[in-house]
Chains A and B, each alone.
Chain A
């Protein structure tokens, strides 16, 4: 039972952790691209 619960918890947390990090990266990416395109504009 312990091993199953470990896999369950690690699995759910792992997916959410991965998505959270990706979420942060997407926001950073959007910010960087927005700044880069603003600097290009006269």
Chain B
């Protein structure tokens, strides 16, 4: 009987599952992921179910064929690409460097994690949390440190929901009132042809530079081409809606189900959560500081707040930047400017993950 096989570790994990379900349902913290993850944790810590039995278990099959076969994260990126508007980034190309600047936080956290005793693959998986990109974090964890998959995913999605709390203190610390109030020059309009050609050009360019980024980048850009071409609305619609929703269900459930008591109740997990928070803060700081550095050379100055939007929690970071800009100057409308680095940050995180993979696998 299952009741006789319950362990204290399992009961603790039921509480963890309850916390995530509470955050998802009541507080509405990233519910699309935290709800299935929370439920996955609950069912993975029920004894004698065989749900995660290798070769046989139902949820093990979702995990094995979806994640271990590296299918689900690229398919999620197909949907993300179909949802993404690269217009703000194309209107002012220099903003893509803010997406790169924020990735410095990923590598700083990687370094700190290694100093604290993690192996290189574990440190890389912890560092990528700072990219604030759930599917990339999950993809990298599956490839480099599968035993950390659940913890890193929960940390990434929890901190993404907490961006309005984590980022503002860092942004205020690194900018003056005058800088926050800076109004930016209006960007140009982007022609349709440019929007259509961009995903093709971006695929060629980024994959030639960092080939290991191909699985995620190719699907991201294909989804965007579906959207911008305007001739495959059914495919774009399916990618944005039905496909994205279906794989999100399998993703959340499988990720949660990897978090059994044995893998989660380790001292390393506490480090993951602390370092994940550090990663977000340092990425925010590096984005803002890089924006200030760019202003030394730019004729049309950029409001340094938008550097924080290089942390690719889309569109939450951009909204936080806009809100802080409005508080400093009511006439300031930073949202569309902030979307540029916000989206560039997604590309930056994919490249950062690609470099980790090429050096550690």
List residues of A whose CB falls within 8 A of some B CB.
3-4, 6-8, 10-12, 14-23, 25-27, 29-30, 33-34, 36-37
On whether the beta carbons of B93 and A26 are closer than 8 Å, the reply is yes
Q: Which residues of A contact B197 (CB under 8 A)?
A: 29, 33
Q: Which residues of A contact B90 (CB under 8 A)?
A: 26, 30
On whether the beta carbons of A16 and B100 are closer than 8 Å, the reply is yes
Contact of A8 with B107 at beta-carbon distance under 8 Å, contacts A3-B120, A15-B100, A23-B93 already known = yes
Q: Which residues of B contact A29 (CB under 8 A)?
A: 194, 197-198, 201
On whether the beta carbons of B120 and A25 are closer than 8 Å, the reply is no
Instruction: Report the count of interface residues on B (CB-CB < 8 A).
Output: 41
List 14 additional contacts besides A11-B356, A18-B347, A30-B194; criterion CB under 8 Å: A4-B110, A8-B107, A11-B359, A15-B351, A16-B97, A18-B213, A19-B99, A19-B100, A21-B205, A25-B204, A26-B198, A29-B201, A33-B193, A34-B191
Contact of A11 with B97 at beta-carbon distance under 8 Å, contacts A4-B114, A19-B348, A37-B191 already known = no
Query: Beta-carbon contacts of B192-218 to A below 8 Å, as 1s and 0s?
Result: 011001100110111011100100000
For the complex, give the distance between the alpha carbons of A4 and B356 in Å. 11
For the complex, give the distance between the alpha carbons of A5 and B120 in Å. 11
B240 within 8 Å of A (CB atoms): no
Taking the closest CB of chain A, its distance from the CB of B355, in whole angstroms, is: 4
Taking the closest CB of chain A, its distance from the CB of B323, in whole angstroms, is: 27
List residues of B whose CB falls within 8 A of some A CB.
90, 93-94, 96-97, 99-100, 103-104, 106-107, 110-111, 114, 120, 123-124, 191, 193-194, 197-198, 201-202, 204-206, 208-210, 213, 344, 347-348, 351-352, 354-356, 359-360
Q: Which residues of A contact B104 (CB under 8 A)?
A: 12
Taking the closest CB of chain A, its distance from the CB of B92, in whole angstroms, is: 10
On whether the beta carbons of B110 and A33 are closer than 8 Å, the reply is no
On whether the beta carbons of B93 and A21 are closer than 8 Å, the reply is no
For the complex, give the distance between the alpha carbons of A11 and B124 in Å. 11
Q: Which residues of A contact B359 (CB under 8 A)?
A: 6-7, 10-11
On whether the beta carbons of B120 and A19 are closer than 8 Å, the reply is no
Taking the closest CB of chain B, its distance from the CB of A23, in whole angstroms, is: 5
- Chain A, residue nearest B193 (CB): A33
On whether the beta carbons of B351 and A14 are closer than 8 Å, the reply is yes
Taking the closest CB of chain A, its distance from the CB of B98, in whole angstroms, is: 9
On whether the beta carbons of B348 and A15 are closer than 8 Å, the reply is yes
